[in-house]
């Protein structure tokens, strides 16, 4: 009876407003209790602590500040208002500063990519030990495929696991959705994207902006892109030993519209970022190349050619008059031209079509409708394309790729570099059309440009290098991994912002 009264008194004291009464009761109970009674006493105190914790949680739930923070992380129809916390205040093409800086902790540089392949996916970099370092994903890769897979079971996969379901019949895989960010459904770009979509459809929301229709549900492009950005954020935090990454610099096209920029802010908000800076991708690429390529550091004008997953672009950059003061990147975009549906993945499609045709002629079997065969064909093309960058031929070996009544069939052939270049020549020639448009916009000729820099994984191909050399009459420059350049440059710019804020 004495112990019961003591436990009841302890519980009432823990729920009271006096912070000292529970301690006094506890000490009194310990002094007056026999050793055999310690167990019930501790149990009673545990119940009291649990009740007191519940009281604190209820108080926090009714706290207006906590409620605002919770609501600000949830997607709402008032995205434009919520994005004010992320918005940059542009001072030129590089969008140098922000109204309120949150670059107080670890930051990352991000390139969201445009495609599902090794050379065209998303990439993140962090600043560590006085240099930018690429973040590896959970699979150990340096580039994360920009693919989101919606399985029939309701599960959503991101990155490499989603890439494996690109041609699956048990999931709908969406790639290249970044091209729909801030894009009206009736625009030329949205129509081109919709024409190439096979597993999903492109719809429109109430405002006429493009959406992705999967399993009868309309998804905003910002919602899908945020899944990739959130994965990159998680990979960066894991690489940093669990430290939070709440700020990022994101590489965007040089000709990004206000609608695209607004969509990027919404994407960052959905991914859990508190602060976002936007930096033109060609400027990010030049920042990454300045230390590795001395010719870039000495140049006053640079033509940056980008051959990304689904687009090609050329931007003319010149040294900014203000240099790097007030957080500027030191470069400005004078002119830029970009076109869609002409990128590195168009090269893959041309090579896959060639393999499908060769197999049809040999066995009268059409592989274009076999989702398992298509997955293997695309993997083989990726490997062969990389091998042809350093050798003059590549072997394609796909045993048991199909079968008929006579038994299994195999695909075995050797793909020469000259033969592959002949197959992809139409796609490469189309990608070069942006060069004349960008030069005309800047009022310059090829001879007026000091250097040519290549960005994007597909610029590894010798045929691309040769085309740019013939066009500008000078040897183009390229980083060892051109698909990572934009993320590395964005991370370097993020570190520059930190140094300006804190002098570190």
- 201 in helix, strand or coil? strand
The pLDDT of 369-377, averaged and rounded, is 92
The secondary structure of 88-103 as a DSSP string is EE-SSTT--EESS--T
Can you tell me the distance from the alpha carbon of 129 to that of 204, in angstroms, rounded to the nearest whole number? 46
Taking the CB of residue 326, how many other CB atoms lie within 10 A of it? Answer: 11
Per-residue pLDDT tens over the stretch 347-365: 999 999 999 999 999 999 9
Its pTM stands at: 0.79
Is pLDDT at 34 greater than 70 in this prediction? no
What is the model's pLDDT at position 71? 29
Is pLDDT at 56 greater than 60 in this prediction? no
Place of tokens 């309309």: 218
Strands 245-252 and 275-280: parallel
Strands 451-455 and 477-478: parallel
What is the model's pLDDT at position 83? 53
Using the 8-state DSSP alphabet, how is residue 147 labeled? E
Nearest to 479 by CA among 493, 466, 471, 489: 489
List the Cα angle 233/234/236 in 5-degree steps.
Answer: 65
More confident residue, 504 or 15: 504
Nearest to 246 by CA among 227, 263, 225, 229: 229
> Encoding tokens for residue 351?
């090579």
Torsions phi, psi of 106, nearest 5?
Answer: -65, 140
Q: Is the Cβ–Cβ distance between 10 and 22 less than 8 Å?
A: yes
Can you tell me the distance from the alpha carbon of 486 to that of 382, in angstroms, rounded to the nearest whole number? 21
Per-residue pLDDT tens over the stretch 73-92: 333 444 444 555 555 443 33
CA distance between the termini of the chain: 65
- 156 in helix, strand or coil? strand
Residue 113, strand partner residues: none
Nearest to 252 by CA among 300, 324, 306, 318: 306
Per-residue pLDDT tens over the stretch 377-386: 999 999 999 9
> Encoding tokens for residue 55?
């009281």
Is pLDDT at 486 greater than 70 in this prediction? yes
What is the model's pLDDT at position 75? 37
Is pLDDT at 193 greater than 90 in this prediction? no
Exposed, middle or buried, 283 (CB in 10 Å: 0-12/13-18/19+)? buried
Per-residue pLDDT tens over the stretch 96-118: 334 344 455 688 999 999 988 88
Can you tell me the distance from the alpha carbon of 238 to that of 484, in angstroms, rounded to the nearest whole number? 19
Strands 451-455 and 301-307: parallel
């Amino acid at each position: 009876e004495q112990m019961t009264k003591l436990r009841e008194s302890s519980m009432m004291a823990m729920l009271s407003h006096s912070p000292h009464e529970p301690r006094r009761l506890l000490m009194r109970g310990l002094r007056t209790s026999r050793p055999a009674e310690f167990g019930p006493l501790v149990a009673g105190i545990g119940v009291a602590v649990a009740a007191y914790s519940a009281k604190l949680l209820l108080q926090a739930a009714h706290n207006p500040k906590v409620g605002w923070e919770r609501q600000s992380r949830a997607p709402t129809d008032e995205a434009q208002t919520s994005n004010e916390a992320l918005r940059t205040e542009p001072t030129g093409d590089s969008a140098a500063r922000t109204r309120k800086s949150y670059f107080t902790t670890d930051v990352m540089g991000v390139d969201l990519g445009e495609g599902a392949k090794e050379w065209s996916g998303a990439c993140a970099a962090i600043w560590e030990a006085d240099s930018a370092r690429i973040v590896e994903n959970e699979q150990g890769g340096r580039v994360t495929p920009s693919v989101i897979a919606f399985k029939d079971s309701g599960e959503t996969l991101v990155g490499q696991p989603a890439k494996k379901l690109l041609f699956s019949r048990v999931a709908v895989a969406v790639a290249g959705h970044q091209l729909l960010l801030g894009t009206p459904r009736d625009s030329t770009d949205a129509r081109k994207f919709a024409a190439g979509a096979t597993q999903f459809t492109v719809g429109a929301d109430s405002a006429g902006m493009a959406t992705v229709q999967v399993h009868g549900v309309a998804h905003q492009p910002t919602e899908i892109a945020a899944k990739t950005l959130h994965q990159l954020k998680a990979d960066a935090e894991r690489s940093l030993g669990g430290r939070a990454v709440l700020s990022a610099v994101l590489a965007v096209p040089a000709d990004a519209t206000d609608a695209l920029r607004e969509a990027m802010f919404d994407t960052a908000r959905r991914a859990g970022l508190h602060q976002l800076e936007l930096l033109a991708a060609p400027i990010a690429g030049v920042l990454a190349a300045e230390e590795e390529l001395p010719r870039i550091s000495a140049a006053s004008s640079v033509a940056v050619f980008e051959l990304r997953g689904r687009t090609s672009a050329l931007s003319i950059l010149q040294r900014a008059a203000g240099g790097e003061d007030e957080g500027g990147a030191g470069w400005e975009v004078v002119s830029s031209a970009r076109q869609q549906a002409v990128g590195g993945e168009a090269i893959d499609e041309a090579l896959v079509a060639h393999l499908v045709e060769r197999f049809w002629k040999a066995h009268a079997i059409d592989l274009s409708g076999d989702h398992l065969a298509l997955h293997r064909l695309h993997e083989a093309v990726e490997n062969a394309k990389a091998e042809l960058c350093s050798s003059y031929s590549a072997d394609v070996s796909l045993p048991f790729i199909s079968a008929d009544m006579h038994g299994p069939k195999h695909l075995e052939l050797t793909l020469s570099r000259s033969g592959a270049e002949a197959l992809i020549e139409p796609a490469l020639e189309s990608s070069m059309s942006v060069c004349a448009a960008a030069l005309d916009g800047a009022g310059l000729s090829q001879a007026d440009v000091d250097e040519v820099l290549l960005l994007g994984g597909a610029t590894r191909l010798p045929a691309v290098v040769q085309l740019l050399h013939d066009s500008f009459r000078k040897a183009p420059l390229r980083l060892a991994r051109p698909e990572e350049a934009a993320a590395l440059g964005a991370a370097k710019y993020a570190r520059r912002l930190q140094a300006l804020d804190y002098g570190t």
